[in-house]
Structure 1
Amino acid sequence: MTYKGGAVIIESDFKSEIPESVKEAIFEASKKLPFSVFWHISARNTIGKKQHANMPQNMFLGKNLPLQDLLGHPKCRIFVSRCSMESVLIATYHGVPIICLPATHFDESVASFVEKHGTGVILPRKNITGKLLFNAISGVSNDPSFRGISRHLAETLRDQPETPGDRFIFAIQNLERHRDHKHYSQVKKQNFISTHYWDVCIALTLVVILFLFTLSCGLWFIFHTFSDSITVVNVDRKKII
């Protein structure tokens, strides 16, 4: 079966295991979508054998999928993401609307930026359902304003006097042309200690030694104070006897 309507990219790179509610919502929503669904999961996340057996026909599941290439494809319609800074920047660069499933407080701040600028919507990850995710994907994909704003931001990011590749080539050629310039030869003038950061290592080592010395002195003082008090008590007991 082919799906010519486009593709939905799902990224669920959670720092811990993917919640079961999120898995079920993704599977349920994917079955109803007229798009191809590419689900990118990280090495730390797993999908059970039972869920693999019930995987929709339009879903392609894989670890470490090339998000840059998938989001840059002209058929990409929607990006479902937990809203890490890197993934949002990639999607914005390629002009792809985003559906946010934030996992942390930092993700929520990035997701609020996406929603504020009109390039996506936020869904509650704890209360996510297949119906809610399906309605969000359908609504964003059918609303041209999300795509229009996303493409406008992408054009703004790409509006540069030269490409990143051209800047890289210029930097290499500039280094070759001015190889003997003092600006590029400062490292050669540094001594062995500064070049290999031995001064920093020595300073950190002294700090650690000072900390351990202070800690040992404190423990020694507490031990001897406690032992002296016990000795005084024993002496007083002997006098009473």
Structure 2
Amino acid sequence: MKSKGLSLLLLVFGSLLNIEQCSSEKILVLSFISTKSHKLTYMPLVEELGKRGHDVTVLSPILSPKPMKNVRDIMTIDGVNLMDKFIKEQNFDLFKMKEENKQMNPFLMFGWFEGVCRDTYDLPQVQAILNESFDLILMQPMFNDCALGLVYRLKAPLVLFSPVSIANFLAEKVGVYFPPSFIPNVMLGLPAEMNFFQRFQNFGMEVMIRATLYFLYEPKVEEIYREKLGNDIPSASEILGNASLILSNGHFSLHSPKPLMPDIVDVGGLHSAPAEPLPKDLEDFIKKGKDGFILFSMGSAIKGDMMPEAKRKMILSVFSKLKQQVLWKWESETMPDLPKNVKLSKWLPQQDLLGHKDIKMFITHCGGGSTEESIYHGVPLVGFPMLGDQLLNAELAKKHGFIVDLDWNDATEEQLMDAIQEILNNPKYRNNVQKLSTLFKDRPTHPKDLAVYWVEYVLRHKGATHLRSAGRKLNYWQYHSYDVILAYITIITVLLYVIYAILRSLTRLLCRLVRNKKDPKKQKTN
């Protein structure tokens, strides 16, 4: 009996070992082009996958902020932050673009990154990846679509991560077309309940983006990866259309509900987490004041030290008149006329500050990550939305009532001071964002755990092709049955014409018979 018990114990132990070994798959996190803020949104997922025993390789131009268990970091551009390099070489000034009212079309911007994409393929570390095998690839599309040639060659299931709530142009790759009548385009910042003119504008933007993708963007990325890896590689749309899953960094509590299929999963707030204790220098600075503190940051891509001098002085003048301490993300960490209540820093632990008990508000550019972190921690905003999805994020914050937004071009010292005082003195903004925070957090599981579950689901089921809807095989016109509607209209039109022709012929015949009956002489002649 003892030997049988021991044998059973060994069998169970061996089975557990086998399960652990089976669950340790190789995952490639692929990014040729990225910003720090975009990478930070999915790094908690990468870290958790490593903790669960998966062998994760991160190929990216930006080094991960910290070493992680079972995670191998491979930089594509050694020691260089790609966005910093790009801004310097292209003289890319988002403040100037905003002042000139230029809209940022991310697909047209790819021409600026084209050289980086070509050079990345030639790097030895990228060539070495081609000689490895992986069980799954996690990739952020947009800008990175030139890496799809590498995805195709590696022949592994593909999971896409959208750093913002999924846009129509990405969803339709996997057979989901969002109606432009109530799903606003991410570039326009329109409300979900649009009037006729807004729906007209929204529809036009959707058409323009499709045309840009089809005629300009996708042919260019296809040219690059075919040049580097062979002409047999299919189109970008086909490779993306074979993705097993899309993780969307959105949630219906903030963004308008969208008609999603099982292969698109909302994981908004994936990177949000409870606050950790602050570094001593920051905590000491906050404690110097008795009225709390304000956080000011324009994100990682918009460099504070490129701010026009007149705007810098205007903002600083406002800050100098406040009772609150102010923490300002500023790249140089020096400023000659800095007041005592303002502290500059090249880097700030944003989430830990947003979760601090003494924070009063967040002055922000309304980036996707910053907006979601503010909601998670229940902090009201003063917003300077600049470009891209920031306009939509500000519109959503306004809809939920936790922002006072200002136009960067026209904002004055008086307007900024009024906005700050409105947030400080009117409790409705904090109440509104805390109510939204409750909705945002009220889920059966944390979005990080949800994302991990679905990634492992794709691994377990070898691509999980059963999640794919038949809509993937339909184009826009077929998906909305426009071709069927046209066929019905044609059939009905033909039938109506035939009926009309028959009735017309019968009417003429009847009229002739009536005339003949009235005129017997004509009848005899006939």
| Shorter-chain TM-score above 0.5 | yes
Matched residue, 1:58? 341
- CA offsets per residue over residues 106-135 of structure 1, 9 Å max, x none? 322221221121111111211223222122
Q: How does 1:74-223 map to 2 (within 5 A)?
A: 74-163=357-446, 184=460, 186=462
> Partners in 2 of 1:36 and 1:164 — Cα distance?
33
- Check whether the contact 1:7–1:37 (CA below 8 A) recurs between aligned residues: yes
Question: CA 1:165/1:133 → structure 2, altered by over 3 Å: closer, same or farther?
Answer: same
> Partners in 2 of 1:109 and 1:166 — Cα distance?
27
Q: 155-164 or 57-66: which moved more?
A: 155-164
> Partners in 1 of 2:441 and 2:461 — Cα distance?
34
> Partners in 1 of 2:327 and 2:357 — Cα distance?
15
- Check whether the contact 1:83–1:108 (CA below 8 A) recurs between aligned residues: yes
Q: Write the letter of the residue equivalent to 1:74.
A: K
- CA offsets per residue over residues 128-165 of structure 1, 9 Å max, x none? 23222122101111101001001001111111234457
> Partners in 2 of 1:95 and 1:5 — Cα distance?
18
Residue 24, structure 1, aligned to residue 348, structure 2: no
Deviation at 1:185, TM superposition (A): 7.2
- CA offsets per residue over residues 2-44 of structure 1, 9 Å max, x none? 2121111101235352222331122111111111101113x5x
Residue 2, structure 1, aligned to residue 279, structure 2: no
Instruction: Give 1 or 2: higher helix fraction.
Output: 1
DSSP-derived class of the 1:133 partner: helix
Q: Write the letter of the residue equivalent to 1:88.
A: T
Segments of 5+ residues of structure 2 without an aligned counterpart are 1-286, 464-526
- Check whether the contact 2:400–2:436 (CA below 8 A) recurs between aligned residues: no
> Partners in 2 of 1:183 and 1:112 — Cα distance?
38
Report the count of equivalent residues: 174
Question: CA 1:184/1:8 → structure 2, altered by over 3 Å: closer, same or farther?
Answer: same
> Partners in 2 of 1:101 and 1:156 — Cα distance?
25
Give the root-mean-square deviation of aligned CA atoms: 2.9
Deviation at 1:53, TM superposition (A): 2.2
Segments of 5+ residues of structure 1 without an aligned counterpart are 188-241
- Check whether the contact 1:25–1:131 (CA below 8 A) recurs between aligned residues: no
TM-score, normalization by structure 1:
0.63
> Partners in 1 of 2:386 and 2:450 — Cα distance?
36
Question: CA 1:166/1:106 → structure 2, altered by over 3 Å: closer, same or farther?
Answer: closer
- Check whether the contact 2:366–2:391 (CA below 8 A) recurs between aligned residues: yes
Matched residue, 1:195? none
Question: CA 1:54/1:112 → structure 2, altered by over 3 Å: closer, same or farther?
Answer: same
> Partners in 2 of 1:132 and 1:88 — Cα distance?
22
- Check whether the contact 1:24–1:129 (CA below 8 A) recurs between aligned residues: no
